[in-house]
Structure 1
Amino acid sequence: MHGTEHPLVIDGGDLSCVRLLLRLRARLGGLAPGAVVHLIATDPAAPLDLPAWCHLTGHTYLGPVAGHDRPAYGLRVSAAPAATRPESPWRPAR
């Protein structure tokens, strides 16, 4: 179980926003609702794009998190996230 005390850490490294969201979306698919994820991301757009993506999909953005050697951001997995297009994780599925 990936809760607040034992979050799943996903290292997005220096991936651009699109590739970062594709990786994140793929990893969230198998997680239980309420699981906490720390996403490590050095892309300067991550602090803007990740909250917007969480709002779009229904996941809860938890903000920046400490304890990592690079910038990291937390989110809580939604029980019923909204689907996004396979090739465009920032666009709702139709």
Structure 2
Amino acid sequence: MAVSAHTGMAPDAQGVHRIDGRALRCARLLVLLRNHAARLPDGAIIHLGTADPVAPIDLPAWCWMTGHTYRGTVPVPGTATYGVRVTATPVPTELDAPWRVAR
């Protein structure tokens, strides 16, 4: 199953919200994830596909910082994909620097 761009907010048949972030790196990937998660209910699951080699480090750290739950790698052929469980009460981050907690 390939990760495809998600244009709506409805989950797929498995209840998962899929995000195609393969063209993004670092900060842009986190901005995409943060903005998408902000529109989802508590407990929603996101599968984020990316080509960013630092994602296995950045995503768990960002989830820990914001209160979302990092669910690890998701088996998707041909695309590195990571799972995130959304919290209803995330710690806000700076708009242009999603790796920094907002003050």
CA RMSD of aligned residues (A): 1.5
1:87 matches 2:96: yes
Shift of 1:6: 2.0
Q: After the TM superposition, which residues 1-94 of structure 1 pair with which residues of structure 2 at under 5 Å, given as runs?
A: 2=11, 5-94=14-103
Give the TM-score normalised by the residue count of structure 1.
Answer: 0.92
In 2, the alpha carbon distance for the partners of 1:70 and 1:2 equals: 19
Query: What amino acid sits opposite 1:48 in the alignment?
Result: I
Runs of at least 5 residues in structure 1 that lack an aligned partner in the other structure: none
Residues 32-72 of structure 1, C-alpha deviation per residue, up to 9 Å, x if partnerless?
A: 00000000011100010000000000000000001343000
SS state at 1:23 partner: helix
In 1, the alpha carbon distance for the partners of 2:62 and 2:76 equals: 23
Runs of at least 5 residues in structure 2 that lack an aligned partner in the other structure: 1-9
Aligned residue pairs total 93
Give the TM-score normalised by the residue count of structure 2.
Answer: 0.84
Which stretches of structure 1, 4 residues or longer, exceed 2 Å deviation after superposition?
none
* Cα 1:25/1:68, change in 2 over 3 Å: farther
Shift of 1:79: 1.8
Point out the structure with the larger strand share: 2
